[in-house]
A and B are shown apart, each in its own frame.
Chain A
Amino acid sequence: MPPAGTRVVTFKGLVASLRVPLTGVAGAKVVSLFNKVGSGLLVAIRDFRLTLDYPAGSSSVRTVATSRITAAPADGTLHTPVPFDTEQTHSASVEFRSGASADGTASALTGTAGDHAWRQGHFRIISPVGEQVRTTEDPMLPKLIALDPVVLREGEGVLVQVVEVASTAATLVLNAVFEEFTYASGLDDVLAVSPSTLNFTWTS
């Protein structure tokens, strides 16, 4: 991924899901972020983290996974991202959806998961009779994306879903930061490799 200086960023935003409750459906979808065909831009994901609570106990951890997808999800709730700077305008071709219609009210998000790119175990409560429930933020993509983002080209997206068996134990929130950008003219093919690769090919 080329450094930020080579991206022509037209929008940088932060967006949050509603609180998505699990409803006993196996493989429940939590959120999606998708760059639709014809958008004319790319999307750089720079932060993608999930936090959850267990109002009830759970005999096994709720593993949540992020996968790349190639079909635009539907339904759920379409969210409006908040711009870092209101001088920038969000493209309607970039869609962030969550599987709720209000906090704690499920509204099924439709999408087909691909191969898992990042899995996160979070935490669980053996018994609800604990002391303090800490709701930590856990990354659903590697933390290094803050400086070296995951790129979504047209017709690409990411989908977050609960991996294991049906559950009603957890309630989840996901926050994201992303940029909409284009490459400076002619740089796409050259720079769509890692900076470290470029460094190794340099000779004096």
Chain B
Amino acid sequence: MPSLSKGLTSSFRTLGNATTPQNLFSIENAAGSTVLVGVRRLTIQMDATAALIAVASQFKTSRPTSLPTGGTALTKLTFDTTLTTSASVVARGATASDAGAATVITATAGAVGWHQFAQRLHTAAGQVILEDESLIPGLCETDPIVLRAGQALLVQIVQATAANNAATNHHVVNCSWEEYT
């Protein structure tokens, strides 16, 4: 399986929108693509400035029922600038600037493959530690999830109440993948 490219991208800082679900990020391999995509790392970092005394935010990763549309196409970087990423590989974020206006990703989640909490502030005092939380298994670094042509992964925030997904929550998603045949 010759490797053609290795890419990485990051979403802008995206605010919660008090709805559930909120599509936060997607990566897709377009229909008709001539490459396969191996997703090796997909993480979220979350900050919050308001207290939450209910259950923490939940993040779910799935294969959506069809390719996402809308959102903001994110810039893709490569591990080595001699590599070229395929135009068929598209990463979408839900805003076009840090804490900017929403650019809605339209997609419908499929069966959930990974389900993750991040953190919450029971009281808005003291320090806040931001760590990467995995949105796919860690073993995908060496054993990636395969996106064939016409397939995608979708990251959603799914909340019990609107308060769990307040506009005072901030989210950044990072993704790394490989393109190969």
Contacts and interface: CB of A to CB of B under 8 A. Distances in A.
Interface string A169-196: 0010101010000000000000000000
B116 A51 contact: yes
Contacts of B160: 103-104
A128 B120 CA distance: 12
A15 B53 CA distance: 28
A48 B176 CA distance: 23
Interface in B73-120: 110-120
Interface in A27-81: 46-47, 51-53, 55, 79-81
Given A103-B158, A133-B120, A146-B139, A53 B114 contact: no
Given A51-B117, A171-B55, A131 B134 contact: no
Interface in A58-113: 79-82, 84-87, 103-104
A86 B65 CA distance: 13
A5 interface: no
Interface string A122-138: 00010011111111010
B58 interface: yes
Contacts of A79: 111-112
Interface string B20-54: 00000000000000000000000000000000011
A10 to B, nearest CB: 15
B115 A133 contact: no
Contacts, number: 115
Given A84-B145, A104-B160, A173-B58, A14 B119 contact: no
A131 B121 contact: yes
Contacts of A17: 115
Interface residues of B, number: 42
A30 to B, nearest CB: 13
A16 B115 contact: yes
Interface stretch (B2-10, B11-19, B122-130, B167-175): B122-130
25 contacts: A12-B143, A14-B113, A14-B137, A15-B112, A16-B60, A18-B115, A46-B139, A81-B111, A82-B62, A82-B111, A82-B113, A84-B143, A84-B144, A84-B146, A86-B63, A86-B148, A87-B146, A128-B53, A132-B126, A134-B119, A134-B129, A135-B56, A135-B118, A137-B116, A177-B139
Q: Ordered nearest first, which 9 A-B pairs have the shortest CB separation?
A: A82-B113, A131-B126, A135-B117, A16-B115, A85-B146, A14-B113, A80-B111, A16-B112, A53-B56
